[in-house]
Amino acid sequence: MAEDRENAIISEVHKKISDAFDVFDHERNKTVDVREIGTIIRSLGCFPTEGELQEFITEIEEEEATGYIRFERFLPTMTKLLMERKFRPIPEDLLLQAFEVLDQEKKGHLGTEELTKYMTQDGEPFTQEEMEEMLSAAADPDKNVIFYKDFVSMLTVDDK
Amino acid sequence: MGCGVTKQNQKQIKKASFSVPAMRAALLIQRWYRQYVARLEMRRRCTWNIFQSMEYAGEQNQIKLYKFFSYLMDHFTPASSERNLIAHIFRENEVCRDAEWERYFNYKNIEVPEFYSGPHLNFPLTATNATELVEAFRTKQQLHSRYVLQLLVETWKLLRILPNINHVSTCHSKEITICGDLHGHLEDLLLVFYKNGLPSMETPYVFNGDFVDRGKNSMEILLILFAFLLVYPNDVHLNRGNHEDHIVNLRYGFTKEVLGKYRVHGKKILKLLQKIYSWLPLASVIDQKVLILHGGISDTTDLDIIAKVDRHRYVSTLRPPKQRKSSAKNKQSDQDSWDEDNMTRRRVRSMTYSSPGVSRPEVQRHSLQTLSSQVEEELRERRRRAGFSLSHGDLHNSLSSDSDSDPGENLETDAEDWKQVVDMLWSDPMPIDGCVPNEVRGGGCYWGPDITREVLEKHNLQLLIRSHECKQEGYEFCHNRKVLTIFSASNYYEVGSNRGAYIRLGPDLVPHLIQYQASRSTRDLTLRQSVGRTERSALRALREQLFAHKSDLISAFQEFDPEQTGLISLNHWATAMESVLQLGLPWRMLRSQLVNHTQDGKLNYQSWFKELAIMEPNTQLAHTNLLETLYKHHSNLETIFRIIDTDNSGLISFEEFRQTWRLLSSHLQIDISDEAISDLAQSIDFNKDGSIDINEFMEAFRLVDRTQQERSNSTLSGVHPHLLQSEHPTKTLLVSASPHFV
């Protein structure tokens, strides 16, 4: 029956969410530090913006913020997110287009300074740490440029 | 910007300088990259969980080993044919007086040859000697066995006059440095000395146990620590850890290291170390306010009792101490009832302790529980039936090698004292109140914040510093910051797995933490590469576990596949994995790393196993049951073989091999035919000389990842796959990427 199947899917989704939550539940009391919520949501396959993430957190936080999120509040909201397939993954070609937009001269690559400027001043800016990490992974050490096509395919290979 | 703009809003303000498309593009890239990093972080945490649960599983194996020894001893009947083997194994443990030991450890006849280019030591040791020693080890020299023995004898003499608890003070505005587990990681110790200074009167240190095992320079670390202890006995303090134990050393690599580095005198050195271990102090207290010990505490911990125990009676802390002499009959019944009490108490506790919010992944080793209760049953039965005077007590008499003790003290005090020591060296904190036996480690307990409060109050202390557990950042506070775990071996599980840290404590007794990470290569690796590397290592270890439990897993899968289609859903896969392996791992998170191919969301489990691993081409074994057993028990096997190999030649005879297997299989109640054992023995006698090389034996059964093997076969032929794995990890990862990022 369709309902049974729906229930089976939901229970699978619940288990998936529970597994991911448990990884960060250091004290084994079904709570996680609110700062890890972003990591958990993203590792379950969602691509929220920082703003969307903040909204999500506000929704599931306690009335008096304790710095911790309880599983009971996390589960229903997260399940809804996954069932509605909100924040779907970004297709590779769209990503490539995004880089091309930034690469105004159509060089096929971006200078490290150029990219840094965009990433740390525009949109939802990166912190210095985030920027450094991205550069260390993306930049060609000799030429100090980012061949974004290769970068995108390299990072997408890692994901299954 | 303008006034009244909060940080939150600033983020959302669109910069006029960039065009809208550019802004949107940037946002997209950021979203994507952050997701990528989050997934990496998840992988890193999962990998961490794998290592931790495997480590605890390994400790469970240790318990099995002890049970096996008890079993062996109990089969020691005069008529038994295994008698020779057992006598042979335990032959070295004669009881002597201290004076006789000093003669045995005489190093004076050992000549240091002219061509020896390593460091020379003069006694009494000076600060210069100690510094030279550090420098020599940094440049990878080895200390001559004569000096080693001399240094150890002097250390032994000093330790004997130290109290159980070191009392340290921060007078003269001295700051004290506290280091946690080092586990043979010399680079970390050198890094700490470099950042913090060598031990001296101005730079006092406390080293909190677990100096040895796992890393490859345990010997050098001990020699350095002992040298500084001798030069600055008032400023260097050592606490005993649970790895300062010769039986633990047999399994975790230190024994192997010593015998490898000191082929002629290794055995003597190990014997002397046994005695030194038992004389290491158990704890240190700073300014009577800060307690430092290796493992932790329990609800019965009492420093006043600890101050008075005869610590040197506990040669190996996981075994109950030698029993005092009293009539065999009384002892037997006392022993039986004590055992019985202990057993039931433990059992009851573990059954009631089943609340869902448990501190550890629920590693309920059912097989171990039933195994241990079976063995206990057996022991009791045999004793009663045969009227053995060989009770628990006597067997430890013959096993322990320390000198005698005075008779007449009662059994109960011994048990109490022993518990105090074990708890100190083996316990772990947990987040919930209470105190329960530490079933995972097999010794000590889990203690909660209420116990911390009680014990600290009882002794007027304000902080407990302990080690014993690896922490990703090198340290961790818990119990309302009343307990601080400090761990000083960075990259403990794998390069990039964790940082190390040490503490500086001044007269204000506020701990200052300094972190570090050894190994140049770590800094050069990107986050992605270091996660990848650690992950590969963890998955390799995990795959071995999977293989070891293959038949159980297949049975579990088949339960979800009643129509025998050969396929199961991924959800069922995860459930089955956890029920068989009981490692408490997030299988749904790990699935993508372990399962490559699915058909419509279902897994073909038989072919999955085939994909999982292949054997080294050398061994052709028809008996796959045997193979699985081998994997399940292979770390115990290695330990046992090394014990049998009493002349430390690295070789054991066929007969010894066969006898051991027979004993082990009857103890574990596995059915292995003699024929299978003989076949096994012959197939691993690689040079056909009638003896088995232990190292070759262990190597032959390491699993090789098929995918790695295939790739490596295509790129470099003729090179041993193991070498490829360790030396070119990044190469295999980036096979599909462009050369730019190599």
ipTM score of complex: 0.91
Going by C-alpha positions, the residue among B274, B231, B268, B275 that lies closest to residue B146 is B268
Is A23–B49 a contact, with Cβ atoms under 8 angstroms apart?
yes
Q: Are B62 and B248 in contact (CB under 8 A)?
A: yes
Is B586–A159 a contact, with Cβ atoms under 8 angstroms apart?
no
The residue ranking higher by pLDDT, A159 or A19, is A19
What is the rounded average pLDDT of the residues B179-184? 96
Chain B nearest-CA distance from A43, in A, is: 5
d(CA B279, CA B273): 10
Residue A158 has a pLDDT of 59
Contacts 24+ apart (CB under 8 A), A89-94: A89/A45, A89/A47, A90/A47, A90/B28, A90/B31, A90/B32, A92/A152, A92/A153, A92/A156, A94/B28
d(CA B11, CA B34): 16
* CB within 8 Å of chain A, chain B residues 511-570: 526-528
Is A20–B15 a contact, with Cβ atoms under 8 angstroms apart?
no
Spell out which residues of chain A touch residue B46, defining contact as CB-CB under 8 Å.
Answer: 23
Per-residue confidence band for B326, with pLDDT thresholds at 50, 70 and 90: very low
d(CA B71, CA B65): 10
Lowest mean pLDDT among B306-310, B327-331, B498-502: B327-331
Residue B720 falls in the annotated catalytic set? no
Chain A interface includes B22 (CB < 8 A): yes
Distance set, CA A132 to CA A36, A113, B11, B334 (Å): 21, 11, 20, 67
d(CA B182, CA A97): 50
Q: Are B212 and B218 in contact (CB under 8 A)?
A: yes
Q: Virtual CA dihedral for A148, A154, A156, A158, nearest 10 degrees? A: -150
Residue B442 has a pLDDT of 74
Spell out which residues of chain A touch residue B357, defining contact as CB-CB under 8 Å.
Answer: 28-30
Residues 6+ apart with CB under 8 A from B565: none
Lowest mean pLDDT among B196-200, B313-317, B396-400: B396-400
pLDDT at B100 over 80: no
Chain A nearest-CA distance from B478, in A, is: 10
Residue B308 has a pLDDT of 92
Chain A interface includes B49 (CB < 8 A): yes
The residue ranking higher by pLDDT, A111 or B627, is A111
What sign does the dihedral B618-B620-B624-B625 (CA atoms) show?
negative
The residue ranking higher by pLDDT, A159 or A1, is A1
Is B740–A140 a contact, with Cβ atoms under 8 angstroms apart?
yes
> Range(s) for CATH 1.10.238.10 in chain A?
2-83, 92-155
Q: Are B549 and B329 in contact (CB under 8 A)?
A: no
Per-residue confidence band for B537, with pLDDT thresholds at 50, 70 and 90: confident
Residue B123 burial (CB count, 10 A): 12
Residue B476 burial (CB count, 10 A): 17
Maximum Cα–Cα distance across chain A: 61
Residue B716 has a pLDDT of 37
pLDDT in tens, B102-144: 677 778 888 888 889 999 998 889 999 999 999 999 999 999 9
Phi, psi for B315 (deg, rounded to 5): -65, -50
The span from the first CA to the last CA of chain A, in angstroms, equals 32
Residue B732 has a pLDDT of 22
The residue ranking higher by pLDDT, A39 or B15, is A39
Residues 6+ apart with CB under 8 A from B618: B686, B700
Per-residue confidence band for B600, with pLDDT thresholds at 50, 70 and 90: confident
Per-residue confidence band for B646, with pLDDT thresholds at 50, 70 and 90: low
d(CA B512, CA A53): 35
Can you list the positions of beta strands (E) in B392-545?
A: 428-429, 435-437, 445-447, 463-466, 475-478, 483-486, 500-505, 511-516
Give me B238's structure tokens: 């050592």
* CB within 8 Å of chain A, chain B residues 246-265: none
d(CA B211, CA B489): 10
Class of domain A2-83: mainly alpha
Q: Domain A92-155 maps to which CATH number in 3.40.220.10, 2.60.40.1760, 1.10.760.10, 1.10.238.10?
A: 1.10.238.10
Chain A nearest-CA distance from B479, in A, is: 11
Highest mean pLDDT among B197-201, B592-596, B724-728: B197-201
What is the rounded average pLDDT of the residues B435-448? 86
DSSP state of B704: B
pLDDT at B564 over 80: yes
Which one of B183, B243, B294, B549 is the catalytic residue?
B243
Cis peptide before A125 (omega within 30 of 0): no
Report yes or no on whether pTM surpasses 0.80: no
Chain A interface includes B1 (CB < 8 A): no
Spell out which residues of chain A touch residue B49, defining contact as CB-CB under 8 Å.
Answer: 23
Residue B91 has a pLDDT of 46
